[in-house]
Amino acid sequence: MKDVNYFEGTPTTNVGEIRVTSLLDGWLSLDGGAMYGIVPKVLWEKHLPSDEQNRVKMAMRPLLVQTPTNTVVVESGIGQAIPPDLHERYGIHRIGPTLDQLVAAQGVDPATVDTVACTHLHWDHSGGLCKFVDGRYVPSFPNATYVVQGGEWDIAIAPTNLHKASYAPESLTPLESQLKTVKGNGEIVKGLSFDFTAGHTENHAVIWLESGDEFGVFFGDLVPTISHVPLAWISAYDINAGGSFAAREVLYPKVLERNAKCFFYHEPGYPVGQMLQQRSKYSAEPLVQR
Ligand SMILES: [Zn+2]
């Protein structure tokens, strides 16, 4: 079986005048069969080996996005949303620092982060929006506006039985006074915008970066890793796999036409890639070799 070169760096790349750094919050081991949906193991294990419990190792890589006008964090890792005694159950290995410390390690004062945006609010994406201080959750970025899809927020803070396992509402409610909800497509700040896809959750939205004639796209969980790019390689965690397939069919031609840099949140290897197309088959390759 192939060995994976897990990538522990924090690569920085440019999209026009926007500087993008992929941070690393930690690792999560998820069932390989669930992660690859209908794709048989004989195919997915060529990309990622599984452990003795059939789990594959996923990274969590929030983005620090510095535009000429704004300092933005996209996605937030697991942070402290899941109590340490449950970490073994979910195969969680956090690196240690909280998200504001990861940002500070890049030479950016967390107090200067003005905007935080999320593709959706599952706990492996939203857990670092707040941090745990003196027995309670407080926003990780005191001066930021937190921009999320309104429908996603409503489900996340009052999850039904269907959604309960995926959200950690107590780590989100302290954000209420700094929250800005949007519906569907729309600008987050100049150069960053939501592109509503649904599929993975009812209100999932990918995030576009645009500067001059250069583009980037952050896929959230619509395409969690480089190996998930083929149209039908859709995770069984998606609440609507058919919706994800349809969203990909619309999104991918746009990604190619714009020659967009692709940012993969859960990619265990190098997380920045370029999409390729051969007839109706899509794939991607890492943009920078390790
Ligand atoms: Zn995820």
**What is the whole-number distance in angstroms between the Cα of residue 110 and the centre of ligand 1?**
24
Q: What is the mean pLDDT of the chain?
A: 95
Residues 6+ apart with CB under 8 A from 83: none
From the list 30, 62, 11, the residue with the least C-alpha distance to 265 is 62
**What is the whole-number distance in angstroms between the Cα of residue 212 and the centre of ligand 1?**
30
Give the start-to-end residue ranges of the domains of the chain.
12-286
**What is the whole-number distance in angstroms between the Cα of residue 4 and the centre of ligand 1?**
20
Q: Give pTM, 2 decimals.
A: 0.96
What is the C-alpha to C-alpha distance for residues 255 and 249, in angstroms, rounded to an integer? 11
**Chain position carrying tokens 């150069």:** 191
- Count of other CB atoms within 10 angstroms of residue 250: 10
| DSSP letter, residue 129 | S
pLDDT digits (tens, 9 = 90+) for 58-108: 999 999 999 999 999 999 999 999 888 889 888 999 888 999 999 999 999
**What is the whole-number distance in angstroms between the Cα of residue 221 and the centre of ligand 1?**
5
**What is the whole-number distance in angstroms between the Cα of residue 18 and the centre of ligand 1?**
25
- In sequence order, the β-bridge partners of residue 274 are 261, 285
**Angstrom distances, CA of residue 221 to CA of 54, 70, 264:** 20, 24, 8
Note the pLDDT of residue 266. Answer: 98
**What is the whole-number distance in angstroms between the Cα of residue 122 and the centre of ligand 1?**
7
pLDDT digits (tens, 9 = 90+) for 16-37: 999 999 999 999 999 999 999 9
The residue type found at 154 is D
**What is the whole-number distance in angstroms between the Cα of residue 241 and the centre of ligand 1?**
15
**Chain position carrying tokens 């599984």:** 50
Note the pLDDT of residue 110. Answer: 98
**What is the whole-number distance in angstroms between the Cα of residue 85 and the centre of ligand 1?**
20
**What is the whole-number distance in angstroms between the Cα of residue 190 and the centre of ligand 1?**
26
At the topology level, CATH places domain 12-286 in: Metallo-beta-lactamase; Chain A (3.60.15)
**What is the whole-number distance in angstroms between the Cα of residue 125 and the centre of ligand 1?**
6
**What is the whole-number distance in angstroms between the Cα of residue 128 and the centre of ligand 1?**
13
What is the C-alpha to C-alpha distance for residues 17 and 19, in angstroms, rounded to an integer? 6
